[in-house]
Amino acid sequence: MSSGIPILMYHSVARRPNEATHDLSVAPEAFAEQMEVVRALGCTPLTTAQLAWHWRNPGRPLPTRPVLITFDDGYEGVHRHALPALARHGYASTLFVVTAWLRGTYDNRGGLDTMLDWDQVRDLAAAGTEIGGHSHTHPQLDQLGDDALWFELVRCREILADELGTPPVSFAYPYGYSCRRVRDAVRGVGFGQSLAVGNALARRRQGPYALRRVTVRRSTGVDEFERLLLGRSITRCFARDRVLSKGYAIVRRARQARRKAARARV
């Protein structure tokens, strides 16, 4: 494995995902096989908080072949299908939840597919899954005004603290989008670290609020998954994603500039 650390980004784990989540889902059998690859390569799964602790305490070396297994949004299949595979190996993981999408939240906004309820989230936490924040309603945070941004972060953190008895310390940006203002707000609300996407290995120099992840999709085969764990050919694996991301970044910066200009005229 290279000096970077693979942070795997999963979403739905489902046999029959709906159209909205299909490409970013994995089949239960595929997930179980991928966990076997993690074992075969001698990797050591950590939570997001554990990785941050090691990097903040350089005198405490990381374990052999560290890897992070993360899930975004809060789909029910994480409890139904992923948890048994994780428990079989005793693997740690991190689940980043959109609080308004979870079943049982009083201002529930639905979700893209069947979502977890709070009892299932508590089961995951009891089994060693770190529960982190992923905003309240899953907007593009860097496109929000200050008040709306603060609401998304504070509301998410408050609900998690109320439901689980302790405030979350890790966060993941919806869609992976952030900017300095968003990162400062995430820090100011009380999160200790946050994950983006980037489809690259995580490195300490990225800083605790911009750690990169690699996307695991339904199309990710065993060979490609092994390369992700070993940090090999990642640029080639995600070449198309990078081209699309650069193009969309230009569009989004233009939108931000127009909004700022409009606010300045008011």
Res 144 pLDDT > 50: yes
11 or 58, which is more confident? 11
Q: Which two tokens stand for residue 26?
A: 């994995």
Q: Would you list the DSSP string of 63-85?
A: -SSEEEEEEEE-BTHIIIIIHHH
* CB proximity list for 121: less than 8 A, separation 6 or greater: 74, 95, 97, 102, 131, 163, 164
The structural domains of the chain, with segments of one domain joined by +, span 7-233
Tokens found for residue 111: 């979700």
Residue 20 has pLDDT above 80, yes or no: yes
Strand-pairing partners, residue 170, are 193
Residues 168-227: pLDDT tens digits? 999 999 999 999 999 999 999 999 999 999 999 999 999 999 999 999 999 999 999 999
Q: Give me the pLDDT at residue 3, please.
A: 80
The region that residue 52 occupies, defined by phi over 0 for left and psi between -120 and 50 for alpha, beta otherwise, is alpha
Match domain 7-233 to its CATH number in 3.40.50.1100, 3.40.50.720, 3.90.226.10, 3.20.20.370: 3.20.20.370
pTM for the full predicted model: 0.89
DSSP state of 202: B
Which tens digits make up the pLDDT trace of 88-140? 999 999 999 999 999 999 899 999 999 999 999 999 999 999 999 999 999 99
Q: What is the dihedral of CA 83, 86, 91, 97, to 10 degrees?
A: -30
State the pLDDT at residue 243: 35
Tell me what pLDDT residue 233 has. Answer: 72
> Taking Cα atoms as reference points, which of 200, 229, 197 lies closest to residue 33?
229
> Where is average pLDDT lowest: 119-123, 169-173, 248-252, 254-258?
248-252
Question: If pLDDT is split at 50, 70 and 90, which confidence band does 232 have?
Answer: confident
Burial status of residue 257 (CB atoms within 10 A of its CB: 0-12, 13-18, 19 or more): exposed
Residue 242 has a pLDDT of 42
Query: Residue 249: is its pLDDT beyond 50?
Result: no
pLDDT tens digit string along 28-60?
999 999 999 999 999 999 999 999 999 999 888
